[in-house]
Structure 1
């Protein structure tokens, strides 16, 4: 016979500490007796992704949107069905489904005048779409686009004449785990920001949180954060704060999670947008004794002068960068570039820095490459440095490409430069076929075979 013994408070604390985060959240929301245990034990999350429109905890995605429901006697338009199936509208709207722009009216006619102008614009646009749809070769569903525009026009007309809309709008919480999906609806009487913060507060607001890997921003890295001008003379930056809200009162970045101050611990961090904003969003809630990030991954951009960046054990630049990274604000001992825009001027500046400054033994740079020819062109720059020699070291000697370049440096040190096929250990941060490694060693670490 199987007996069921209840867990006592002390044993419950131990179980709670190691429960999978999503199971623990469900117990907290549904079991009053578990609440006191939940509030005293840290929540451990293997992977947390906080995107502008949703957040993901260990593979379970939580998203909030506004859906539109028509009565049973009224067919639901196809464009509305598609929007509802995708989780709903991701911005706040009024009862007619028109986006709220946050502008307050100063005169009675201002809103009406704006609606009339917008209505004229949409009507002209609809006329153009209907006239030119046959001539356009874009791979889009024109019927769907036209229907959506017609619904917008109808909404403006209803608002201008103060009619009752033929639909009701709800807030929808969608919880998705693989193919399983759970949906909850509530009346749309709070804005999306309030609702998202309420849900986050229910999950994170009363406990210490330990996150193995935290991603801030969309899954793709922002390609507009930095690009290069001729000869790499200047980097032009655009730094939108895509995933964060600016407080209109004090201009400060709001906390990423509604957790008490100094209760968040993070192992690794991935920022796909503005790094400065991302760091600001976790500063107040990050624990004082949080160890240095094991890995900090971001796109190439203007790096803030921040201890969280300077102490990271590994900096990964996820998009094409410049050799200026090694000669700029970040002086971490371990930096990896996903790919590199190599310019002779940047290389010369880097060599001058190595010649003037003392480099710590073990400082390790790496760059991803997909073609051996590109590596050979890069290595030609090293070969032309005065005093460069060829040889091998313990890490290259038994590899497929055993030869390394040896560059004498100051204070009885040398620079070893070599490349190899990306191995399983390197694939944690490098997804290219080959990896170039540049490491500072004690003089004599590599065995010299001769000059070039």
Structure 2
């Protein structure tokens, strides 16, 4: 009786409080593991896991030797070798239960290389501008003296490993593993001996959270990153029921990696959000994408994504959303879409959502639609189509990032 009562109380506790309760009270751990776990937001990143409003991150902490107050470091979440140089390969090891998001898709690998080249080229141009085109006085106006000193010290510190290796001298600092817990109330930092690659600590963390659960973990919003370059660390046997998934990019390979830990009832997803790269249009034919109740697309590095909108509107998804900016989905594209719907109709109950980062862009497009449309008794803009009408309205999304949108609903007359 007491065990069942405990499970009832635990089930509706905030997940991070449940993790802390299980850690502090071993006698309650069995009841906690036997109770369904509900998570609003679960996000996997580089050596970090976000659970609702709390971030757990593993990184490095360096402590300078006495008398070396000039040493400063940026936050670092990469492994280093005994000489202090970054190493990457340990983080790629795949252990039982881990999900490897690495893709054999050559187009994706080519895109990653090209994207890295473009970003580095932009940094190079910025540096050339700083060093050549702008005067030192103008540069100093951009940052305070304190920031300037800090950046200088960080650059000098990054060169110390080379100097020590060259002179065969020990490093003037010690390196520790750092475990950071950060939420809305602040952050807590724990320091440990750095005697193994960081991913082992991430694996231990997710094992404490997710191992041995008798029920699938219910996740309302899951976020993964195909460009993570690191497996998702999970214990063997874990299962998730996911309602909404932000899959970022390269859906086919990421879904194949994630499928073994998803319950069958996760599909169709209530909402599926994708970043669509220029070469990925053919992936939109994936049956899981077309089965999502709400499909949201973010065109990335596409000069004109209007063809993608035409393509998407042939899909059976009840709601289709697409992100726009100043260069995307211009007014004439909306007009063309409206004219097409007048001639060919649209499925009753379907909705198109177009998102803008600034309200004035949305308002310009909507004003044009409003001026060309008929008005109902509530002054709502609509157009008649075969078998019904499309009603237009404006709105905005509420969340971490506010977006302004135009909504087009197909309804019966």
Q: TM-score, normalised by structure 2?
A: 0.71
Q: Say if 1:243 and 1:403 are closer, same or farther in 2 by CA, change over 3 A.
A: same
Equivalent residue number for residue 279 of structure 1: 255
SS in 2 for 1:299: strand
Equivalent residue number for residue 365 of structure 2: 374
Q: Note if contact 1:78-1:144 (Cα within 8 Å) is conserved in structure 2.
A: no
Equivalent residue number for residue 288 of structure 2: 308
- Aligned runs of 1:218-297 on 2, under 5 Å? 241-245=226-230, 254=231, 256=232, 258-261=234-237, 263-297=239-273
Give the C-alpha shift of residue 93 in structure 1: 1.0
Match of 1:20 among 10, 14, 26: 14
Match of 1:59 among 53, 61, 74: 53
Equivalent residue number for residue 324 of structure 1: 308
SS in 1 for 2:87: coil
SS in 2 for 1:160: helix
Equivalent residue number for residue 215 of structure 1: 223
Q: Distance in 1 between matches of 2:45 and 2:89?
A: 22
- Aligned runs of 1:119-130 on 2, under 5 Å? none
Give the C-alpha shift of residue 182 in structure 1: 1.9
SS in 2 for 1:200: helix
Q: Distance in 2 between matches of 1:92 and 1:282?
A: 26
Once the two structures are overlaid, the 10-residue window that deviates more, 371-380 or 88-97, is: 371-380
Q: RCO higher in 1 or 2 (8 Å CA, sep ≥ 6)?
A: 2
Give the C-alpha shift of residue 430 in structure 1: 10
SS in 2 for 1:406: strand
Q: Say if 1:134 and 1:198 are closer, same or farther in 2 by CA, change over 3 A.
A: same
SS in 1 for 2:72: helix
Question: How far does the alpha carbon of each residue in 1:373-409 deviate from its partner, in whole angstroms, 9 at most, with x for none?
Answer: 32354578xx6xxxxxx645xxx532xx33411133x
SS in 2 for 1:64: strand
Equivalent residue number for residue 167 of structure 1: 173
SS in 2 for 1:360: coil
Kindly indicate whether residue 158 of structure 2 is the aligned counterpart of residue 158 of structure 1.
no
Q: Say if 1:205 and 1:355 are closer, same or farther in 2 by CA, change over 3 A.
A: farther
Kindly indicate whether residue 197 of structure 2 is the aligned counterpart of residue 191 of structure 1.
yes
Kindly indicate whether residue 385 of structure 2 is the aligned counterpart of residue 407 of structure 1.
yes
Question: How far does the alpha carbon of each residue in 1:396-433 deviate from its partner, in whole angstroms, 9 at most, with x for none?
Answer: 532xx33411133xxxx24x23422327xx75899555
Q: Note if contact 1:293-1:313 (Cα within 8 Å) is conserved in structure 2.
A: yes
Match of 1:364 among 339, 348, 351: 351
Give the C-alpha shift of residue 52 in structure 1: 2.6
Kindly indicate whether residue 39 of structure 2 is the aligned counterpart of residue 45 of structure 1.
yes
Kindly indicate whether residue 390 of structure 2 is the aligned counterpart of residue 417 of structure 1.
yes
Equivalent residue number for residue 322 of structure 2: 337
Q: Say if 1:23 and 1:368 are closer, same or farther in 2 by CA, change over 3 A.
A: closer
SS in 1 for 2:139: coil
Q: Distance in 2 between matches of 1:330 and 1:427?
A: 27
SS in 2 for 1:267: strand
Q: Note if contact 2:61-2:191 (Cα within 8 Å) is conserved in structure 1.
A: no
Equivalent residue number for residue 90 of structure 1: 77
Give the C-alpha shift of residue 8 in structure 1: 2.9
SS in 1 for 2:353: strand
SS in 2 for 1:293: coil
* Runs of 5+ consecutive residues of structure 1 not aligned to the other structure: 1-6, 104-124, 218-240, 246-253, 384-389, 446-452
Q: Distance in 1 between matches of 2:55 and 2:85?
A: 27
Q: Say if 1:354 and 1:49 are closer, same or farther in 2 by CA, change over 3 A.
A: farther
Question: How far does the alpha carbon of each residue in 1:45-85 deviate from its partner, in whole angstroms, 9 at most, with x for none?
Answer: 122232335222121111111011124x33333523xx3xx
Q: Note if contact 2:241-2:262 (Cα within 8 Å) is conserved in structure 1.
A: yes
Q: Note if contact 1:338-1:432 (Cα within 8 Å) is conserved in structure 2.
A: no
Aligned length: 351
Give the C-alpha shift of residue 102 in structure 1: 4.5
Greater share of residues in helix: 2
Q: Distance in 1 between matches of 2:83 and 2:171?
A: 6
Give the C-alpha shift of residue 200 in structure 1: 1.5
SS in 2 for 1:284: helix
Q: Distance in 2 between matches of 1:265 and 1:198?
A: 22
Provide the alpha-carbon RMSD of the alignment.
3.7
Q: Distance in 2 between matches of 1:280 and 1:162?
A: 48
Q: Distance in 1 between matches of 2:267 and 2:390?
A: 31
* Runs of 5+ consecutive residues of structure 2 not aligned to the other structure: 91-126
Equivalent residue number for residue 94 of structure 2: none
Equivalent residue number for residue 137 of structure 1: 139
Q: Say if 1:345 and 1:270 are closer, same or farther in 2 by CA, change over 3 A.
A: closer
Q: Note if contact 1:48-1:55 (Cα within 8 Å) is conserved in structure 2.
A: yes
